[in-house]
Amino acid sequence: MTVVSPTSVVSVGADLFADAVAGQAVDVSRVEWRPPMPGTEADLATVAADPLRRDANERALAAMLGVTAHLVDVVPAANALGLEPGQFLHAGPPIAWARASGPLRGALMGGAALEGLVDDPDDAVALFESGRTVSLEPCHHRGAVGPMAGVVTPSMWMFVLEDLETGRRTHCSLNEGLGKVLRYGAYSPEVITRLRWMGDVLGPLLQAAVRATGPVDVTGILTQMLQMGDEAHNRNRAGTLMLLRDLAPAMVGTGHDGAAVAEALRFVGGNDHFFLNLAMPACKLALDAARGIEGSTMVVAMARNGTDFGIQVAGTGEEWFTGPAQLADGLFLGDYGPEDANPDIGDSAITETAGIGGFAMATAPAIVRFVGGTVPDALATTRRMHEITLGENPRWSVPVLDFQGTPSGIDVTRVCRTAILPQINTGMAGREAGVGQVGAGLVTPPSEIFPLALARLAELARARATA
Amino acid sequence: MTVVSPTSVVSVGADLFADAVAGQAVDVSRVEWRPPMPGTEADLATVAADPLRRDANERALAAMLGVTAHLVDVVPAANALGLEPGQFLHAGPPIAWARASGPLRGALMGGAALEGLVDDPDDAVALFESGRTVSLEPCHHRGAVGPMAGVVTPSMWMFVLEDLETGRRTHCSLNEGLGKVLRYGAYSPEVITRLRWMGDVLGPLLQAAVRATGPVDVTGILTQMLQMGDEAHNRNRAGTLMLLRDLAPAMVGTGHDGAAVAEALRFVGGNDHFFLNLAMPACKLALDAARGIEGSTMVVAMARNGTDFGIQVAGTGEEWFTGPAQLADGLFLGDYGPEDANPDIGDSAITETAGIGGFAMATAPAIVRFVGGTVPDALATTRRMHEITLGENPRWSVPVLDFQGTPSGIDVTRVCRTAILPQINTGMAGREAGVGQVGAGLVTPPSEIFPLALARLAELARARATA
């Protein structure tokens, strides 16, 4: 049923027409009709009745939206995170070598070679199988995020982002570009050589430039990007260019060799994804402000290790709710096909958790040429994500939706009640260690992790009610 | 009357709904109903019957769309254009000092001081009134275009754009930024000081960088910009950043003083409009390819001198068809209001002539915060411009309109038949010499110039028919 008048539309049922009209900034009132996820009715009722919920979610959303992330330094992970030889960080929830997917294994093997623990990355397999002198830990447990495999080793240089009001910090490695790169599980000599150049030349240059320039407002750059066709997960073109604009003058003035500066400018300028590694820790910095708020049903992290997809929720502490990572549906590079792709991997879904990436696809319609789908799909996706989020981000607006704020603060109860899953734009790694990137596409979390989180929220609410 | 089915829409009458649906890339068949411009019926019939017309317009459109513009050099106007002391170029059709508007006079006075013809810009009034040692000529008559007042003097450095296939070239000065700048009619000491720095430092640096980098594909950057929220007239953010990306490495490597390079990088990076002065000559280079095609009704230039708005047409040689420049409707800076604004000025409407600027507003919805209007207006404007153009540009597409090409090749007969005027996004200069920019907005040509051009096309067609 569809009723049309010049200024408002009521739409019940299929979303195609409602989304088309809403895409033109016409007021749309949707009438909910989807059944909740099976088996969640009782927990939904319990959590809905939790007296803490409303205020806790308001505080969680406000805490997230109130953070401004500044790039304040660039330093090796050993210094930034206290990472010691043999310690490896990885994307997603905790996982051991035995269950690690191909691309995570490949990145760990390359990381071991980079750190000089082995000469040949293939020799690292025995090292990780024995597990005696090495350890794996999620980036998220050390205040960091890592795209794709997300492997961080002590010698890798990290962006340091800070909330200047509180001094809280988050971290992310420097982006290597596309194709045969460590984060997609490649570990050939060219990968290691590039990482060494990043450590020897690029990192120190960026450190000098950031220290000379002073804090760079990453949240502000994200505001601009969203008006320039980037959704800040799989399109970071404008963001990368703005970072170059902000740092290039100081890079020139650092007293470094002109040829090295020119090479660094070319490397950053030639990698449209360079800014992703700033967008991600900016999103984590905002979301971390909402951690530990009792009663809040807001998701504060979505992360994948290539085997498991995990979420963390404001009201459930550091607990991970996990299920099997899914295969993305998308576009493949060269001759690669679905059979070559590893399940979903990376901490980069922190962008969607903060309301950009797949949640902001409407502002980046050109993204469909990279991740697949159609332009109307992209517009519809952003509208749909408003149905599972607590609010809008006034600083991150979507011009084509009449400057509506991005859908922000994924609410576990809304996901369970509507059965609408968060939409994630993602790169696809090859399933075999060493392959690298095979494509990019669209993916969702496994649906069962939201009822798991809801059940824990309900359990805590019941415990409070009877305390 | 509006009939809706899932995949196609027929709309007769008011455009609001049709445009809203079309904005979602649904097929729309519009039924023409607008009356033609009064008094044009006979000329429209004559030109429609011209046996040359169809083929001539196909050739004109193809010629324009086939050009790729490369930035190949940066040199002073004296060298690039053979401009001699006392010779001044200006925007728009020919005009003498006596009829020149405030901002054009202000820019000429500042230009005279820059060239050392007078010490105080105010002393230049007598010089231009006497007209003995100075002369005025349109930029367009020397293969150049100039934004706003468009004043070019021999010592100003010019971008040189070339069609590498034919060697044809066009030129434009370097952009000064916003506010108190010569092109908006300001001529205070800070304006002259900035112009001297541009001549002494910026121009030579850019020259060295372009020569070291090799030809920069400006048409290709425009393709990218249109996917990054720029319409390339009043938004050139992404374009400016891509130019920086392309030239910065060579600027570092030119052997110039690091502090000067850093200052130049800051100047370009701090001026979102810097790329406008490349977009404009790229558009002229494309449109010049369509000049002199007998029988073609395609517009090859729209330009304003602050007093007159003029167009040139492919099938009518170098003749200008002029009428009074209009006042823009838009947003004002600070305390300025409509009474402070000069009528429309500048060669920058060459962007709309080539199918971008106001014609591509749909791809730059954030522009409404600068020039006024609403996001649905911006989407509707691009759709409407398809009704007066000969075709689409496959290299310049609008993602949110499902990658439809920009409306390209303004057709004098379609303008007269539909009475739809080209939409131009423009800056607004203060009407008094010396003021500078007062705002930005939307404007159209005076409607009478299209019937004038049509009458001349009809006259030529009749002459051919009776020859």
pLDDT in tens, A213-245: 999 999 999 999 999 999 999 999 999 999 999
Architecture of the structural domain at A36-65+290-466: Alpha-Beta Complex (3.90)
Task: Name the residue of chain A whose CA is nearest to B244's CA.
Answer: A245
Res. A251: pLDDT tops 50: yes
Write down the pLDDT at residue A30.
Answer: 53
Res. A153: pLDDT tops 50: yes
CB contact under 8 Å between B376 and A25, yes or no, is yes
Q: Which residue has the higher pLDDT, A372 or B352?
A: B352
Write down the pLDDT at residue A32.
Answer: 54
Distance CA A292, CA A279 (A): 23
Residues 68-97 on B with a CB inside 8 Å of A are none
Q: Three-state SS across A36-103?
A: CCCCCHHHHHHHHCCCCHHHHHHHHHHHHHCCCEEEEEEEEHHHHHCCCCCEEEECCCCCCHHHCCHH
Element (H, E) at B111: helix B102-114
Taking the model in full, what pTM does it have? 0.92
Shortest Cα distance from B202 to chain A (angstroms)? Answer: 14
Distance CA B203, CA B209 (A): 10
Contacts by A394-398, CB closer than 8 A, 24 or more apart: A394/A65, A395/A65, A395/A219, A395/A223, A396/A222, A396/A223, A396/A226, A396/A355, A396/A356, A396/A360, A397/A223, A397/A226, A397/A227, A398/A226, A398/A360, A398/A362, A398/A363
Q: What's the average model confidence in pLDDT over A311-329?
A: 97
- Interior/surface letters A361-394, b for 16+ CB within 10 angstroms, e for the rest: bbbbbbbbebbbbebbbbbbbbbbbbbbbbbbbe
Element (H, E) at A327: none
Write down the pLDDT at residue A256.
Answer: 77
Write down the pLDDT at residue B34.
Answer: 79
A15-29, pLDDT tens digit by residue?
Answer: 443 344 444 444 445
Return the DSSP state at A247.
H
Shortest Cα distance from B426 to chain A (angstroms)? Answer: 20
Q: What's the average model confidence in pLDDT over A366-370?
A: 89
- CATH fold for the domain made of B35-65+287-466: v583 fold (3.90.1700)
Mean predicted lDDT score pLDDT of chain A: 93
CA distances to A243, A459, B345 from A234, rounded to whole Å, are 17, 37, 41
Distance CA A147, CA A277 (A): 7
Q: Which among B143, B108, B156 is positioned nearest to B128, based on CA atoms?
A: B108
Write down the pLDDT at residue B179.
Answer: 79
Say whether B395 sits in a helix, a strand or coil: strand
pLDDT interval class at A260 (50, 70, 90) = very high
Q: Among 2.40.50.100, 3.40.50.300, 3.90.1710.10, 3.30.70.600, what is the CATH number of B69-281?
A: 3.90.1710.10
Q: How many Cβ atoms sit within 10 Å of the Cβ of residue A414? A: 18
Residues 236-265 on B with a CB inside 8 Å of A are 237-238, 241-242, 244-246, 248-250, 252-253, 255, 258-259, 261-263, 265
List of chain B residues with pLDDT < 50: 1-28
Task: Name the residue of chain A whose CA is nearest to B366's CA.
Answer: A399
Res. A257: pLDDT tops 90: no
Q: Which among A409, A420, A408 is positioned nearest to A445, based on CA atoms?
A: A420
Q: What's the average model confidence in pLDDT over A33-59?
A: 95
Write down the pLDDT at residue A19.
Answer: 46
CB contact under 8 Å between B252 and A252, yes or no, is yes
Q: What residue type is B135 in one-letter code?
A: S
Q: What's the average model confidence in pLDDT over A47-62?
A: 98
pLDDT interval class at A467 (50, 70, 90) = confident
Distance CA A92, CA A41 (A): 29
Q: Which among B363, B306, B370 is positioned nearest to B105, based on CA atoms?
A: B306
CA distances to A69, A208, A225, B159 from A72, rounded to whole Å, are 9, 11, 20, 37
Q: Which residue has the higher pLDDT, A9 or A440?
A: A440
Q: How many Cβ atoms sit within 10 Å of the Cβ of residue B119? A: 10
A261-305, pLDDT tens digit by residue?
Answer: 999 999 999 999 999 999 999 999 999 999 999 999 999 999 999
CB contact under 8 Å between B375 and A400, yes or no, is yes
Q: Which residue of B245, B246, B363, B404 to mutate against A (max A Cβ within 10 Å)?
A: B245
Residues in chain A with CB shorter than 8 Å from the CB of B261 are 252
Q: What is the ipTM of this complex?
A: 0.91
Q: Do domains A36-65+290-466 and A69-281 have the same CATH topology?
A: no
Write down the pLDDT at residue A7.
Answer: 38
Chain centre distance of CA B138: 14
The domain spans of chain A are 1-33, 36-65+290-466, 69-281
Is the alpha carbon torsion for A113, A118, A121, A125 positive or negative? negative
